[in-house]
Amino acid sequence: MGLHESEDCVRGVWSELVAGAAPPEGAGAERGNVLGRIRFATESAQPALVSGAACLTTHMANDVGSAAEEVWRTDRPVLSGTSGDAVYTEDGEHLFYAVRLESQPIYRERVRQLYEDALRFTWERGYTELVRMWNQVGDINCPNAEGLEIYRDFCFGRAEAFANWEGRFRQLPAATGIGKLSPGVDLCFIATKPGRTVYLENPRQTPAYKYSPRYGPKSPTFARATFVRGENNGNLFVSGTASILGEDTAHVDDIARQTVETLRNIDVLVGNDNLHRHGVDGGEYTVRDLDQVKVYVRDPKHVSVVRDICTLVFPADREIAYFNVDVCRPELLVEIEGVCR
Ligand code: 3EB
């Protein structure tokens, strides 16, 4: 059966988060085919095809945050390839795409190009709804060659790319914009064929694309979550979430309060009221249903506090990966993301 047939059989993607560097091939082998891998590694590597699937390797693991691998799977047969420097895998319903940009004196123009190439590729193959994007940005709080913070420089180029594609992709997807441990930008994302996605905002937070210029010349371009209908229920992809109320950082200099506020933001985002507000039925979630949890902590000394709070909040068997990286605003100390299914 061809990759683009069997439209009647729309299945989801699912993932597992495996702690430890490069688990042995075949270990934890689940049903299905690999759509994409994200390796949180102790050094960078070019995106590559690994055992026939696109793989992004991002430098995120150190003495504090351990190595991990997130493996996205699908029931459908997959095809992989390269496009310029990028790698991709598709199953006729979903696309996983990964690309990396080396360190730049100024990111804006190169990020715009990187994104436009990615959006064009995705659009032309019919994956016209973006689901979930991850942006790992090195030196994220450092100034670029013109003195603009690299996160803001990155956001500028990304916003221009989306503006140039306005009117095609229906809405901005859930995303993460987070630090990594070496320079440059890693980008990977999942997109889907049309008709299954709902994009969500959080009533406690200003939509990121409406942040005031106080937070950068061009607003960050992402939604707070994306719901993707599946065969039974669906997946709710939760963006990187921080201690932001309205558009302002809450609890500057207080790691415990930032962690609790972040978890509360997620609880409201995934809760029934918010899902119903966005026309999503199904999914009776609370923050405790967040799975594939990734926790980004700026200061290594804070990891134990954050871990204690997460241990209290999440079920005992929950897979949680901790990373010691910078967060996109200097005063943000922690950021949390995951998927509810
Ligand atoms: C925030 O809410 C915190 O730039 O893609 C979270 C998720 C954040 C995604 C991004 C940034 C991004 O503004 C930071």
What residue owns the CA closest to ligand 1's atom 4? 177
At residue 140, does pLDDT exceed 80?
yes
Residues with Cβ within 8 Å of 203's Cβ and at least 6 positions away in sequence, in order, are 268, 274, 277
Instruction: Report CA(293)–ligand 1 centroid distance (Å).
Output: 16
pLDDT at 276: 96
Quick one: pLDDT at residue 30? 64
Question: What average pLDDT does the segment 5-23 reach?
Answer: 50
Across 145-160, average pLDDT = 98
CA–centroid distance, residue 118 to ligand 1 (Å)? 20
Q: Is any ligand 1 atom within 6 A of the Cβ of residue 65? A: no
- Nearest CA, atom 3, ligand 1: 242
Residue nearest to atom 13 of ligand 1 (CA): 208
Reading the block at residue 113, the tokens are 């190009």
Place 233 in a pLDDT band, splitting at 50, 70 and 90: confident
Nearest CA to ligand 1 atom 6: 240
> How many angstroms is it from 192 CA to the middle of ligand 1?
22
Confidence (pTM): 0.94
- Confidence (pLDDT) at 28: 52
The pLDDT value recorded for residue 291 is 94
Mean pLDDT value across the chain: 92
Which atom of ligand 1 lies nearest, measured to the CA of 215? 13
Residue 237 identity: F
Concatenated DSSP letters of 276-289: HHTT--S----GGG
- Across residues 195-221, what is the average pLDDT? 97
pLDDT, residue 14, reads: 76
Going by pLDDT thresholds of 50, 70 and 90, the confidence category of residue 62 is very high
Q: How many angstroms is it from 75 CA to the middle of ligand 1?
A: 31
Instruction: Please report which confidence band the pLDDT of residue 8 belongs to, taking 50, 70 and 90 as the band edges.
Output: very low
Between 245 and 9, the higher pLDDT residue: 245
pLDDT digit string (tens) for 261-293? 999 999 999 999 999 999 998 778 999 999 999
In ligand 1, the atom with minimum distance to the C-alpha of 211 is 13
Regarding the beta carbon of 176 and ligand 1, being less than 6 Å apart is answered yes
Tell me how far the alpha carbon of residue 53 lies from the centroid of ligand 1, in angstroms.
27
Whether the per-residue pLDDT at 211 is higher than 90: the answer is yes
Q: How far is the CA of 240 from the centre of ligand 1 (A)?
A: 6
pLDDT band of 319, cuts 50, 70, 90 = confident
Residue 320 near residue 276, CB atoms below 8 Å: no
Q: Which of 70, 129, 149, 335 is catalytic?
A: 335
- E strands, the chain, are 13-19, 33-41, 45-50, 53-59, 68-74, 79-83, 86-90, 94-101, 129-138, 174-180, 185-192, 197-200, 225-229, 234-241, 244-245, 248-249, 291-297, 320-323, 334-340
pLDDT at position 5 is 27
Segment among 61-70, 156-165, 211-220, 306-315 with least mean pLDDT = 61-70
Predicted local distance difference test score (pLDDT) of residue 1? 24
Report percent pLDDT > 70 for the chain: 91
SS3 (DSSP) at 236: strand
Predicted local distance difference test score (pLDDT) of residue 32: 87
- Ligand 1 close to Cβ of residue 190 (< 6 A): no
Q: Is 30 a catalytic residue?
A: no
pLDDT surpassing 90 at residue 104: yes
Whether residue 24 has pLDDT greater than 80: no
CA-151 nearest atom, ligand 1: 4
For a pocket test of ligand 1, which of 133, 178, 245, 325 has the largest count of ligand atoms closer than 8 A to its C-beta?
178
How far CA 239 is from CA of 115, 232, 261, 310, in Å, comes to: 18, 22, 15, 17
Q: Are 1 and 65 within 8 A, CB to CB?
A: no
pLDDT at 282 (0 to 100): 72
Verify whether ligand 1 is closer than 6 Å to residue 249 (CB atom).
Answer: no
